[in-house]
Amino acid sequence: MRIRYFAWLRQRTGCAEEEIPLPPGVRRLSELKLWLANRHPRLGEALAAKGVVRCAVNQDYVAEDIELSDDDEVAFFPPVTGG
Amino acid sequence: MIRVQHEPFDPGVELARFVASRTDVGGIAVFLGRVRDRAGDTPILAMTLEHYPGMTERKLAEIEAEARRRWPLEDTLVIHRYGRMMPGEPIVMVAVASAHRHAALEACSFLIDWLKTRAPFWKCEETPQGERWVEARTSDELAAARWERRSAASSGQSPAQSSFS
């Protein structure tokens, strides 16, 4: 799967994107977040704070704890500030 | 029409082109957003807009389609830039054409309000003290939410960003 980070979350992980196989034991978005929090502790801090990190799966906003598959693109970013 | 681009654009040229394409439209509303040279007391030297290629176009197309569902519009144009910009440069332009002014004005307001809270763009300001990411504002969420109430039952759109966990 492909994981993408934007804005200051990208600065926290030190990478804009990474390709990883769906980690063992990870089936849902909440489980992926925990796994990524371990991999990138500074991302983990942001994920732990409520309402700071938004999430998109396959380029659509996702609020629910959906099930993931190996060919998903999952993105993490702060609230948007365009316009 | 949706355009997401790095290059600067000339709002006058864009508006002239938008107007020239139709002679049967009476009302045209335009919003132009530019880089400010200060935020409160802090001088802004430049601004960089990051976006999520692919998702940006997709969200803008959804917002445009929603505007066309709600108002009788003849034509719409949304141009949004990304990359580094200097104060005074245009960031975003929304133009809406309708036979009637109220539809044009309301749809223009709706488009920029929803764009601000739904299109995946992030602003980073350069100040004399260094770079800083612009934080989302509650006032923008409220501005977007006022269009939410009107269609609460109908559209089946994604929920406002503020409700995401």
Are A59 and B112 a contacting pair at CB < 8 A?
no
The ipTM estimated for the assembled molecules is 0.95
Contacts of A6 in chain B (CB under 8 A): 50, 52, 120, 122
**For residue range B105-146, what is the model confidence (pLDDT) as tens digits?**
999 999 999 999 999 999 999 999 999 999 999 999 999 999
Q: Measure the CA–CA gap between B147 and A7, rounded to whole angstroms.
A: 27
- Take residue B132 and report the two structure tokens written for it: 């800083």
A16 has a chain B CB within 8 A of its CB: no
Phi, psi of B57 (to 5 degrees): -60, -40
CA distances from B135 to A13, A79, A82, B140 (A): 19, 8, 10, 11
Residue whose tokens read 């994604």 = B158
* Mean pLDDT value of segment B21-42: 92
Q: Measure the CA–CA gap between B145 and B163, rounded to whole angstroms.
A: 11
Number of domains observed in the structure of chain B: 1
| Cβ atoms A26, A35 nearer than 8 A | yes
- Asked, for residue B33, whether it belongs to a domain, the answer is yes
Residue whose tokens read 């949004």 = B80
* Minimum-distance CB partner of B55 among A8, A56, A83: A56
User: The domain that contains B128 carries what CATH number?
Assistant: 3.90.1170.40
The full set of domains in chain A, from first to last, is 2-72 (3.10.20)
SS (H, E, C) B115-141: HHHHCCEEEEEEECCEEEECCCCHHHH
**For residue range B55-75, what is the model confidence (pLDDT) as tens digits?**
999 999 999 999 999 999 999
- Asked, for residue B71, whether it belongs to a domain, the answer is yes
Domain span at B125: 2-149
- Asked, for residue B6, whether it belongs to a domain, the answer is yes
Q: Measure the CA–CA gap between B36 and B89, rounded to whole angstroms.
A: 8
The nearest alpha carbon in chain B to A60 belongs to B55
* Mean pLDDT value of segment B19-46: 93
